[in-house]
Chains A and B, each alone.
Chain A
Amino acid sequence: MMTASLDATFSALADPTRRAILARLAKGEATVNELVSPFKLSQPAISKHLKVLEKAGLITRGRDAQKRPCRIAAEPLAAANGWLEGYRKIWEANFDRLDNLLDELKAETNKL
């Protein structure tokens, strides 16, 4: 992925409301109206956030002129953080600490 589009992805993700919208869309598509009530924002405010997300390629919108349902687009997110790699790092750090803990527990058991 080009760095320029990664920049767009990350500036779109820098806003907590937009991240929350993405988290909502991760559960399934939604129309603007369906996003208005949970976020307690005006329809124009939601539309503005959606435009940023769409421009960054993080969501796609249906063609239905009335509803234009929004869906999350997985690829830019995946490219943005190599998220599997991020995931792996979190677990690697956890399990390295678990190794140390297990060593301590084994040493304690041997003492008994």
Chain B
Amino acid sequence: MRNVLKVTTPTDREIVITREFNAPRELVWDSMSKPELLKRWITGPPGWEMTVCEEDARVGGTFRWAWTGPDGAEMAMSGVYHEIAPPERCVRTERFEVGCVPGGGEQLATLILTEKGETTSLTLTLRYDSKEARDGAAASGMERGMAAGYDRLDEILEAAAV
């Protein structure tokens, strides 16, 4: 059975994502931290691929992920590690770069992996500077949607118009 992804907004400044995985915590951690594994699942929108995955996962170290899409379109995300405690906890800043236009500000991402027998529970908390910044992430999210083509936006529009 497929595990259910939950997205909630417990406060005005946060987005919280939770999900279970049917795998030991070490494997989940590796998949979320080793570039060769990250590239296999954070592929971006349909038609895109992750082309850059630089990871210096230590306190003060940086990461940069970049994707290339149809017609050479590009997007990237980068940030700095604040805390790192394998295979359990990681806190880092994240900032989207959209083409050459800076994205909608910086978010603080806290990843927590909890072991539950043979499964692993993931909680990813994204915290923004303000409600406006959080909701404004929609602007850059929209940009990424646009970059991927208007097809998916049509679906979104239909859903929103109901």
Contacts and interface: CB of A to CB of B under 8 A. Distances in A.
Contact residues of B: prevailing secondary structure: helix
User: Could you say which of B129, B139, B146 has the most chain A C-beta atoms within 10 Å of its C-beta?
Assistant: B139
Interface in B122-155: 129, 131-133, 135-143, 145-146, 152-153
Interface in B1-26: 2-3, 5, 7, 9, 15, 17, 19, 21-23
Contact residues of A: prevailing secondary structure: helix
B139 A22 contact: yes
Contacts of B104: 22-23, 26-27
User: Could you say which of B2, B142, B153 has the most chain A C-beta atoms within 10 Å of its C-beta?
Assistant: B142
A26 B139 contact: yes
A41 interface: no
Interface in A12-70: 13-14, 16, 19-20, 22-28
B43 A97 contact: yes
Contacts of B17: 91
Given A22-B136, A86-B156, A102-B28, A81 B142 contact: yes
9 contacts: A10-B153, A13-B142, A23-B139, A81-B157, A85-B159, A86-B152, A101-B31, A103-B23, A105-B27
